[in-house]
Amino acid sequence: MLFLMAIAAGVLFAVGIFMILRRSMVKVLVGILLLGYAANLLLFNAAPLMRGVPPLIDPVMGVPADYADPVPQALILTAIVISFGVTAFAVVLIRRVYAVTGTGDLDNMHCTDIPCESEEILSDLEDEIK
Amino acid sequence: MIIYPILIPLLFAIIIVFFWENQRVKRALSIISTGLLMVVNINIFLLVYREGIQVVQVGDWPAPFGISLVVDLFSAIMLLTTSIVAFLLAIYSVSGIDLARRKYGYFPLFQFLLMGVNGSLVTGDLFNLYVWFEVMLMSSFVLIALGGERTQIEGAVKYVILNLLASTLFLSAIGLTYNLAGTLNMADLALRLQAVQSSGQVTVIAVLFLVAFGIKSAIFPLFFWLPASYHTPPVTVTALFSALLTKVGMYTLIRFFTLLFPFESEYTHTIILISAGFTMLTGVLGAASQTDIRRLLSFHIISQIGYIFMGLGLFTEYAIAASIYFLVHIILAKTALFLSAGMVESIQGSFDLKKLGGLYKNRVGLSMLFLLPALSVAGLPPFSGFFAKLGLIIAGLESKQYFIIGLALVVSLMTLFSMTKVWNEAYWKPPKDPKYLDQHNQVSVWRWVPVIIIVVLSVLLGLLANPIFEVCQMAAAQLMDPTQYIRAVLGAVR
């Protein structure tokens, strides 16, 4: 089981990184989501996977021979909530980017490096000449 | 006591939200909150200075099971510095942030950002640190995109994607750590990791953390998001980010590599030194080609991060002390530079060095507010930058790392070149448009006061270098001897 989980987490990481390298913003978002799942799955396997053993210890009975560690589940729960919030923000941001720039292609987003105002001025000039 | 740095911003953020429409109340509350935070942090600093490491077990759960909040001298120094800067930035925001941004939640976000920063500085739990980092990141995501100009939105995309990637790596590293050691309390972890020190797994985790925080603190070769995004929001926000975000990343790296992974020094510290060298060099070379003041200063952030990182790479007590001093120095000096650039923009309406000019002729005071921190960053005596670099170079000489010292000196010279370029272009050369010379735009007093205070503090840091450096050495001694930290958190049981 652990082996299967490890393979699954690895595949998710690989696909996530592949998607994050795509040019389309929506695909990058999918990549980030998949990476989040991959990290959660990794956390899930942080404690040995046990079946049919108690997660809580009765103080009277003492520590049983086998017990499941509940901490990773608690961590995943927190991580899922955080990634939910982050995803919500990222979706709104992408929508906003499309509204402002009119493109979903990351290659066209170079205004941070080459000032876009000069381009606009140039295109305005070209229009005037025409 | 040490929980207040988290509670105060939270409380005020919530109160501020209730006054959404009333701009005056919002900014007054913002200043009160950061002022209160500063007073509390001064007290915490004095307490830690006198009585040693302070620990609070949240919810009274005993140490390795609950979440511990720990403030040692290093955290206290960082808390104090960041809250002073936050207070001054809150004052500067009165005129430094336009009405649209103030209306749409700038002030509550500012408080939430501070909460995240303070939380990361005081927490002693690995997963809790992740949560605080996310609080900090979410606020910074919104702050960077707030306003919705095209460059801002595009910068935000790059910033968000790379920082989310870093968070994922951080989370994965936490998972692997838990798998290996079965605990997330940093003090407990330090003990457990010692037991498995021969294992290559520890090195893997250490490098994973190095990459995750390396992205957040913008070291070579992971810094590319910084120059693409930091110059896009208003200059107040840029100053806030440069003072807090990358520096908290650096704080965490120093904390991790002194407390959790001090045994892997051979392998990781070579990587750190090489990366530090390239960080310094690429940052300053990138700055050389820039003509926008904000972009130029953004590249200098990277270059200066390299120096702090170099102290960690040398890994002697003196070097760590110099790194801590450098952190304080750069937080003050860099904020002063960004804010005075903001004042320049409010007079001449541009950040572009080609368009600016002639500021020295009729605005000598304003010019000094740029010149003093600029000389400090370049490392001229008697300013703080000189002593910070001197400390690093002495530490380097002691560990016989001559190559990195040479590089540090060359980079320092190039920083001076870069700062003189700004000085010549913006302050000395006659402006392109002669109408600028006769302009007498008044700069708001809300901008003058904080910038003057921060420049004075920066100069004082240099003049009082000796006593302050001694405090940094005490902090470094605490860091290099993790048993103090472990004993304070876990108690005398072990």
Residue-wise pLDDT tens digits, B25-57 = 988 999 999 999 999 999 999 999 999 899 988
Mean pLDDT computed over B84-89? 95
pLDDT in the model for residue B436: 63
Residue-wise pLDDT tens digits, B297-350 = 999 999 999 999 999 998 899 999 999 999 999 999 999 999 999 988 888 878
In angstroms, the Cα distances linking B445 to B92, B342, B343, B436 are 9, 13, 11, 21
Q: Which residues of B touch A46 (CB under 8 A)?
A: 175-176, 178-179
Of A39, A72, A100, the CB nearest to B148: A100
Q: How far is A122 from chain B (nearest CA, A)?
A: 17
B174 pLDDT exceeds 70?
A: yes
List the single range of B86-95, B313-322, B483-492 with lowest mean pLDDT: B483-492
Q: Which residues of B touch A112 (CB under 8 A)?
A: 151, 154-155, 158, 228-229, 231-232
pLDDT-derived band of residue A121, with 50, 70 and 90 as boundaries?
Answer: low
DSSP of B251-270, one letter per residue?
HHHHHHHHHT-GGGHHHHHH
pLDDT in the model for residue B261: 85
Domain residue limits at B256: 4-493
**Could you tell me the sign of the dihedral formed by the alpha carbons of B477, B480, B482, B483, in that order?**
negative
The conformation of residue B444, written as its DSSP 8-state character, comes to P
> What residue ranges define each of the domains in chain A, with the CATH number in brackets?
2-51+68-129 (1.10.287.3510)
Mean pLDDT computed over B201-212? 90
Q: Are residues A93 and B145, on separate chains, in Cβ contact within 8 Å?
A: yes
Percent of chain B with pLDDT strictly greater than 70: 97
Q: Is A24 helix (H, G, I), strand (E, B) or coil?
A: strand
A116 pLDDT exceeds 80?
A: no
CB-based contact B353:B292 (threshold 8 Å): yes
Put residue A49 in one of left, alpha, beta given phi > 0 → left and psi -120 to 50 → alpha. Answer: beta
Q: Residue A24 pairs with which residues in a beta bridge?
A: A105
Mean pLDDT computed over B384-390? 93
Measured CA to CA, the distance from residue A110 to residue A120 in angstroms comes to 13
Residue-wise pLDDT tens digits, B470-487 = 999 999 999 998 888 988
Residue-wise pLDDT tens digits, B190-199 = 888 888 766 7
Give chain B's mean pLDDT: 89
Q: How far is B82 from chain A (nearest CA, A)?
A: 25
**pTM for the whole thing?**
0.92
Q: Residue A110 pairs with which residues in a beta bridge?
A: none
A130 pLDDT exceeds 70?
A: no
List the single range of A81-85, B101-105, B252-256, B434-438 with lowest mean pLDDT: B434-438
Chain B stretch 145-204, residues whose beta carbon is closer than 8 A to a beta carbon of chain A: 145, 148-151, 153-158, 160-161, 164-165, 167-168, 171-172, 174-176, 178-179, 182, 184
List the single range of B161-175, B217-231, B257-271 with lowest mean pLDDT: B257-271
CB-based contact B123:B84 (threshold 8 Å): no
Query: How many distinct structural domains can be found in chain B?
Result: 1
Residue-wise pLDDT tens digits, A4-48 = 988 999 999 999 999 999 989 999 999 999 999 999 999 988 887
Give A114: exposed, middle or buried? Use CB within 10 Å, 0-12, 13-18, 19+.
exposed
Q: Are residues B175 and A72, on separate chains, in Cβ contact within 8 Å?
A: yes
**Is A96 in CB contact (< 8 Å) with chain B?**
yes
pLDDT in the model for residue B494: 43
